[in-house]
Chains A and B, each alone.
Chain A
Amino acid sequence: MKILVPVKRVVDYNVKIRVKPDGSGVDLANVKMSMNPFDEIAVEEALRLKEAGKATEVVAVSIGPAQAQETLRTALAMGADRGILVQVDGTVEPLAVAKILKGIVAEEAPGLVVLGKQAIDDDCNQTGQMLAALLGWPQGTFASKVALAEGTVDVTREVDGGLQTVSLKLPAIVTTDLRLNEPRYASLPNIMKAKKKPLDVKSPADYGVDVTPRLTVVKTAEPKGRTAGVKVASVADLVMKLKTEAGVL
């Protein structure tokens, strides 16, 4: 069984982004970019399934600018077998990403697609669910455990009240939560080897997908700021201030 893993190139999670003063967007010039953290977890899970003999091939795919090749190389260095870059500049919304992925699924026929639950730039949390819908496949979102069996996969999901386990017919979609696994680091030899692994470059037109956004960004603004308050000297001082000044006790 083949596993497809979509990986997105995003601003590194350690970077505190800045909003452009004219409200036209976020300043991404010279900002460190990385693989979306949830997608690293997705790659790791796919690799573990392959190492356990439950999958035969792991294919990473990214939709984005030419530089997203670096993100794919990271996935290849972790151990993915092949990469597919669907090259497109500018914003591609989750709905369009899902449509492109549907086209790739039609070509590749994976038994499982493992995505991140959320891209940490747009914070949409949509793509996996949308892909499942377009394919008519079941979905196991926010996974903290994935148990692959013959024809089915059991997914333990992180939900508001705790954990829920569902059983999905294969082929299926899984989206990863933080506690599914700890992604490996790519070793230097593997980084070298990854340079020789196959990486195809495609375009949205190859899949007949129109990537024109459905949402118009009217403006992008700084959030309401919060200023540091005061340091209190003692517990007694804190309790007093919470009672009288803040009025929350």
Chain B
Amino acid sequence: MTTLLIAEHDNASVKDATNKALTAAAAIGGEIHVLVAGSNAAAAAAEAAKLDGVAKVLHVDAPALEHGLAEPLAAVIVALAGPYDAIVAPSTSSGKNVLPRVAALLDVMQISDITAVVAPDTFERPIYAGNAIQTVKSGDAKKVITVRTASFKSAGASGSAPVETVSAAADPALSTFVGEALSESDRPELTSAKIIVSGGRALGSAEKFKDVVIPLADKLGAAVGASRAAVDAGYAPNDWQVGQTGKVVAPDLYVALGISGAIQHLAGMKDSKVIVAINKDEEAPIFQVADYGLVGDIFEIVPELTKAL
């Protein structure tokens, strides 16, 4: 049994999502190789080589791979897929983008977003916004799997695997990168943060979001999240959305400010260790999952809380 793990990286370094998916890959068993496909990504490949339990890193470098476009990246993975029993990637936006393309090219039904490994061919995955957990067994010869990172701990990085350079498959040249607008921030990333402070529709404006949510997050050294309503209204950027169709998080502490607790939001945060909710409606569904609930006006309570910390 050999698994190919697709690393999440930005060419310079490997993202924590890789460490988490590695833990899932290790639970499947067998030898693990990590693919670092990028452009001038030697530094990322060297970092991947340190991940615990990795037997080998495959480093594929080509200009077409700089931005992780699905078409050339899928071509690279499919070209390498032959000897592997499982191909695993974290359920990040890039993993979700490329892996189904790989699965279809290999004529495999992908198993999306696994939350547990039951056996090398059997996995648990949430359906219906996490309101049911399905255990599925794959009959495909190769398993193609994305991993819900919030469900697995990060693997350590004290190893030293060899890095093998492999040439890239031809770029199908179907798409080109135009540009990106990435949010610059010194904050911890949502999906690896220990503490998250999230704001909802109740904030009412981008200014209020900044004045009320951000200072509390700063005080706690927290990442900032948001409900869909807050993102749709433009109070917070899209990459802050937590939920069924946003990011799934499981920090030690999740603070929900003026968020009602719709099932789609709960889907993204209900596995947090401790949940605090502040909402003026004591019937708000968020209180059904909150360990500590405070009924009241966020505009009064949150500044007070920020000060008290």
- The residue among B109, B136, B301 with the most chain A CB atoms within 10 A of its own CB is B109
B232 interfacial contact with A, CB 8 Å: yes
Surface stretch bound by B, among A52-60, A82-90, A233-241: A233-241
Q: How far is the CA of A132 from the CA of B130 in the complex (A)?
A: 27
Cross-chain contact A232 with B294 (CB below 8 angstroms): yes
Q: Looking at chain A, what size class is its interface with the partner chain?
A: 35 or more
List residues of chain B with CB within 8 A of the CB of A221: 132-135
A112 to B74, CA, bound (A): 21
Is the pair B293, A95 in contact by a Cβ cutoff of 8 Å?
no
Q: Flag if A229 contacts B238 (CB, 8 Å).
A: no
Chain A interface main SS type: mixed
Known: A141-B70, A231-B294. A16 touches B131 (CB 8 A): yes
A125 and chain B: residue at smallest CB distance: B96
Give B111's nearest chain A residue, CB to CB.
Answer: A215
Q: Nearest residue in B to A231 (C-beta to C-beta)? A: B293
A228 with B238: CB separation less than 8 A: no
Report the bound CA distance from A162 to B263 in whole Å.
24
Q: Which one, B31-39, B45-53, B198-206, B283-291, is touching chain A?
A: B283-291
A131 CA to B61 CA, complexed, in Å:
27
Neighbouring A residues of B92 by C-beta, 8 Å: 160
B195→A248 contact, CB < 8 A: yes
Contacts of A172 in B (CB 8 A): 174
Of the candidates A132, A157, A220, the one whose C-beta lies within 8 Å of that of B134 is A220
- Chain A residues contacting B181 (CB-CB under 8 Å) are 162-163
Known contacts A123-B126, A179-B231, A242-B253; A215/B139 CB under 8 A: yes
**Closest residue of chain B to A27, judged by CB?**
B132
Binds B, one of A67-75, A113-121, A199-207: A113-121
Which residues of chain B are within 8 angstroms of A19 by Cβ–Cβ distance?
A: 131-132
Q: Is A196 located at the chain interface by the 8 A CB criterion?
A: no
Docked-complex contact A168 and B175, CB < 8 angstroms: yes
Contact B71 A139 (CB under 8 A): yes
What is the minimal beta-carbon distance from B119 to any residue of chain A, in angstroms?
10
Contact for A167 among B105, B175, B182, B293, CB less than 8 A: B175
Find chain A residues with CB under 8 A from B131 CB.
16-17, 19, 223
A165 touches B237 (CB 8 A): no
A121 B228 Cβ-Cβ under 8 A: no
Interface centre among B104, B183, B287, B308, by most A CB within 10 Å?
B104
User: A193 at the A/B interface (Cβ < 8 Å)?
Assistant: no
B168 to chain A, nearest CB (A): 18
Q: List 29 A–B pairs whose Cβ atoms lie within 8 Å, in order of A's numbering.
A: A11-B128, A94-B110, A120-B129, A123-B128, A129-B96, A129-B97, A129-B101, A130-B103, A130-B104, A142-B96, A142-B97, A160-B94, A162-B238, A164-B179, A165-B178, A165-B180, A166-B176, A168-B175, A216-B139, A218-B136, A218-B137, A219-B134, A223-B126, A235-B305, A236-B308, A238-B292, A242-B253, A242-B274, A248-B252
